């Protein structure tokens, strides 16, 4: 069975981990953890709420479809993220793009489910067996 | 000739990558696509995480290429364009890729250990401490060198206003993204548009007049004399402004300042690089009367009026593009932990290094061709504001080929360089603040205060900028960077010997880099020490020279201790029988 690719476009909380100039210094000097803690703690509360909500949604998807889906989180601020925004005309976050074509913007898990199933994934039962549609 | 140089560079790096690097990869390191990498073995979704080779190539290139491949070559063409291009091509061919690629493979086959961990394991516990000392000197010197370069650019009345607007546009982009939740396309178009319009406005009369007024007149005025020339009020003042930006970048939440300003700057850097390259190929510039070789000694790189020898100074002046020790940190602590397959290490580690060499050759072409010859280049370098202005004016010349006005091109190129420098500086200052809180916070509780730690970092930087000669700071910075390179190559040699592999191809580059770097540091420290006791020198400049001499000699002593430990470790590695060694 082919894997269904789900790209999730949403601003991510990265602290300075995204900075490839700083991270090697922080790692080698052994002070990466306090810097990351400070940076992550400084994001606005509403960003954290959205981030937690998105994280739960992604975990739920991964739990239900297992290795049938490949979920990729993309920050729109990266070059790849910007290209995706222009190509799919993304104006709202999070946006879910399934198999590079089908798109849904919003938080409704059932709508994401519909796209993922349309892409060919089957929901797993609790024991791990794949259920029929 | 300019475009010929770029084509020769591209062919040379292709041959180096394909035949030499590819040959070593096949015959010595034998990268195996089926061997489990740390990214797969320890996948934690944070540090260890498999990523595709094309994504990692982008990461690696972005990490290694900042101001280094631009400033170093622009300064080094004072010896003529041939030594600069030869060192770039031979350096990357025989040394640069060896370090970048093999340090990634070495870390990958040692459970993703960083340079510090590898030094501890392969050389000695104190080798890790010495590495950290190189690192702290490196950071302080990077602040001084980049700060001085940025202050010189800001002093141009056409630059300052535009840059301030660019920064405000960045802050607005953070507000729009993280607070107002606007979509990125609108945010990007609005904020990049504001930044570009701001840069353009800054070149117009009324706005220049405001900056002129701040500068104290069109040519500013001399605040005090230094042994390296007059310190103008404009450079002094804008130096404080530059450090104020760094201060904000260091103490404000990352999403409020550093991250969004960098995001907006990314677009300007992208447009600048693409425009410059297209301009070079359209104009097909000639090297004109720019000499291939001006002589073994040139005056004024270490200090005004002082003869500066090609060997060893060229080899620390140009680091990025030929070989830069900083890259080994990137390869070990980042890339090695994200490589999905061992065979990806070659296109990522070596490929990014070879690409950077082409970028550095492009900087040589800018410097050599944009000013109508050697005289014009030296005029801009010595009287016009230094290598950053050489590059910015070079970029303006080639953007002009595309129909972009030279005034706007100069302001754009300057903003491009300042933002690249400030991106690094504000994060280095943040790092210095946290490091001082962690290391000194117990003994001196004031360092735990965000503003105190940052202020100390700012004051140290200003001290370096105001009492030192920027070009000498650049050489010391290059020296600490190349000591990293020597250490990385020594580690690679010891690791190869330990695992019973051929190691000559890493050993001789290690010896060359170590000897050249230590010699460069001794020359620079000695000249600074002599200058400190020049008759009639004011106390502040004696202090500045003594700091430079002290840093130079400290680095030399540390590197001698490191060499002693490394020799012993190498002896131990050679005595191991290959059968007992494991990769």
Q: Token match 């999905």: residue?
A: B340
Is the CB of B185 less than 8 angstroms away from the CB of A91? Answer: yes
Name the residue among A112, A125, A132 with its Cα closest to residue A54: A112
- Candidates B18, B25, B5, B24; CA nearest to B89 is B5
Its sign, for the CA torsion B85, B87, B92, B93, is positive
Of A28-42, B130-144, B299-313, B525-539, the poorest mean pLDDT is in: A28-42
**Distance of alpha carbon B333 from alpha carbon B350, whole angstroms:** 16
Considering only residues B300 and B121, tell me which one the structure prediction assigns the higher pLDDT. B121
Is residue A126's pLDDT more than 80? no
Over residues B390-417, the mean pLDDT reads: 89
CA distance A55 to chain B (A): 13
Across B12-31, average pLDDT: 93
Residues of B in contact with A43 (CB under 8 A): 178, 253, 255
Q: How far is B197 from chain A (nearest CA, A)?
A: 22
Question: Is the pLDDT at A36 greater than 80, yes or no?
Answer: no
DSSP character string of B169-238: HHHHHHIIIIIS---HHHHHHHHHHHHHHHHHHHTSHHHHHHHHHHHTSTT--EEEEETTEEEEHHHHHH
Beta strands per DSSP E along chain A:
4-9, 69-74, 95-98, 102-105
Q: Which helix (H) or strand (E) holds B553?
A: helix B539-575
A77's tokens = 């601020």
Q: Between β-strands B307-309 and A102-105, what pairing exists: parallel, antiparallel or unpaired?
A: unpaired
**CB pair distance less than 8 Å for A43 and B253:** yes
Q: Is the pTM of this model over 0.95?
A: no
Q: Does A28 touch chain B (CB under 8 A)?
A: yes
Q: What is the mean pLDDT of residues B282-289?
A: 86
What percent of chain B has pLDDT above 70?
Answer: 98
Report the residue from B115, B255, B434 with minimal CB separation from A43. Answer: B255
- Reported as a single tens digit per residue, the pLDDT across B105-162 is 999 999 999 888 899 999 999 998 888 888 878 888 888 888 888 888 888 888 889 9
Å between B227 CA and nearest CA of chain A:
34
Q: Are strands A69-74 and A4-9 parallel, antiparallel or unpaired?
A: parallel
DSSP B259: H
CB contact under 8 A, A28 and B254: no
For A17, the 3-state DSSP assignment is coil
How far is A85 from A70, CA to CA, in rounded Å? 20
Q: What tokens appear for B182 in the block?
A: 């606007």
Closest chain A C-alpha to B489 CA, distance in angstroms? 17
* pLDDT range class, residue B257, cuts 50, 70, 90: confident
Considering only CB atoms, which chain A residues are within 8 Å of B55?
A: 80
Residues B435, A29: C-beta atoms closer than 8 Å: yes
The answer to whether the CB atoms of B431 and A25 lie below 8 A apart is: yes
pLDDT in tens, A114-125: 999 998 877 765
3-state class (DSSP) for residue A98: strand
The answer to whether the CB atoms of A47 and B332 lie below 8 A apart is no
Higher pLDDT pick, B572 / A126: B572
Write the DSSP symbol of residue B404. Answer: -
A22 touches chain B (CB under 8 A): yes
Query: How many CA atoms lie within 13 Å of B565's alpha carbon, on the beta-carbon side?
Result: 21
Q: Which two tokens stand for residue A116?
A: 């993922």
ipTM of the complex: 0.81
Query: What residues in A contact B178, CB-CB < 8 Å?
Result: 11, 43-44, 47
């Amino acid at each position: 069975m082919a894997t269904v690719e789900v790209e999730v476009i949403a601003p991510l909380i990265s602290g300075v981990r995204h900075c490839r100039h700083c991270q090697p210094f922080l790692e080698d000097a052994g002070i990466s953890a306090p810097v990351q803690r400070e940076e992550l703690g400084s994001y606005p509360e509403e960003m954290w709420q959205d981030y937690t909500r998105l994280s739960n949604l992604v975990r739920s998807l991964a739990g239900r479809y297992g290795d049938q889906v490949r979920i990729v989180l993309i920050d729109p601020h990266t070059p790849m993220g910007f290209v995706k925004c222009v190509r799919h005309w993304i104006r709202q976050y999070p946006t879910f793009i399934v198999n590079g074509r089908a798109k849904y913007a919003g938080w409704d898990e059932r709508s994401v489910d519909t796209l993922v199933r349309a892409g060919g994934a089957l929901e797993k039962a609790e024991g791990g067996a794949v259920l029929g549609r | 000739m300019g475009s010929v140089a770029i084509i020769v560079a591209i062919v040379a790096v292709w041959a180096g990558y394909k035949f030499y690097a590819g040959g070593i990869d096949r015959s010595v390191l034998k990268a195996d696509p089926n061997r489990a990498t740390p990214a797969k073995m320890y996948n934690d979704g944070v540090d260890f995480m498999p990523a595709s080779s094309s994504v990692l190539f982008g990461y690696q290139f972005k990490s290694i290429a900042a101001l280094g491949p631009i400033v170093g070559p622009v300064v080094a063409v004072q010896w003529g364009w041939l030594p600069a291009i030869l060192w770039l091509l031979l350096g990357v061919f025989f040394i640069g890729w060896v370090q970048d690629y093999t340090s990634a493979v070495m870390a990958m086959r040692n459970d993703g250990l960083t340079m510090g961990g590898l030094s501890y394991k392969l050389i000695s516990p104190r080798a890790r401490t010495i590495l950290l000392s190189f690192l702290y000197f490196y950071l302080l010197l990077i602040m001084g060198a980049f700060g001085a370069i940025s202050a010189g650019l800001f002093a141009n009345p056409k630059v300052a206003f535009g840059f301030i607007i660019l920064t405000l546009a960045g802050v607005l982009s953070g507000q729009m993204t993280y607070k107002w939740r606007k979509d990125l396309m609108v945010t990007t178009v609005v904020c990049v548009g504001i930044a570009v319009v701001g840069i353009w406005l800054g070149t117009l009369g009324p706005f220049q007049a405001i900056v002129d007024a701040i500068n104290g007149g069109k040519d500013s005025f001399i605040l005090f004399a230094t042994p390296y020339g007059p310190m103008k009020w404009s450079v002094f003042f804008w130096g404080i402004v530059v450090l104020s930006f760094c201060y904000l970048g260091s103490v404000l939440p990352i999403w409020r300042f550093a991250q969004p300003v960098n995001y907006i700057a990314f677009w300007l850097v992208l447009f600048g690089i693409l425009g410059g390259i297209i301009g070079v190929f359209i104009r097909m510039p000639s090297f004109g009367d720019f000499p291939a070789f001006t002589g073994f000694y040139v005056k004024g790189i270490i200090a005004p009026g002082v003869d500066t020898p090609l060997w060893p100074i060229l080899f620390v002046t140009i680091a990025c593009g030929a070989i830069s020790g900083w890259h080994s940190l990137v390869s070990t602590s980042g890339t090695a932990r994200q490589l999905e397959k061992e065979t990806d290490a070659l296109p990522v580690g070596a490929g990014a290094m070879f690409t950077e060499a082409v970028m550095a050759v492009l900087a040589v072409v800018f410097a050599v061709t944009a000013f109508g010859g050697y005289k014009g280049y030296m005029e801009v370098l010595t009287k016009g504001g230094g290598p950053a202005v050489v590059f910015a004016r070079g970029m303006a010349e080639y953007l002009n080929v595309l129909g972009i006005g030279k005034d706007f091109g100069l302001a754009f190129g300057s903003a491009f360089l300042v933002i690249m420098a400030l991106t690094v500086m504000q994060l280095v200052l943040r790092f210095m603040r946290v490091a001082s809180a962690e290391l000194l916070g117990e003994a001196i509780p004031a360092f735990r205060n965000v503003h105190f730690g940052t202020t100390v970092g700012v004051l140290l930087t200003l001290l370096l900028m105001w009492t030192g000669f920027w070009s000498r700071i650049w050489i010391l910075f290059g020296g600490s960077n190349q000591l990293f390179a020597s250490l990385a190559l020594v580690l690679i040699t010891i690791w190869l010997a330990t695992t019973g592999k051929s190691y000559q191809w890493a050993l001789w580059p290690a010896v060359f880099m170590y000897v050249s770097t230590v010699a460069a540091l001794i020359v620079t420290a000695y000249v600074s020490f002599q200058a400190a006791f020049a008759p009639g020198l004011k106390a502040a400049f004696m202090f500045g020279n003594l700091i430079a001499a002290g840093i130079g000699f400290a680095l030399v002593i540390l590197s001698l201790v490191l060499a002693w430990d490394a020799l012993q470790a190498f002896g131990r590695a050679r005595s191991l029988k290959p059968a007992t060694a494991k990769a």
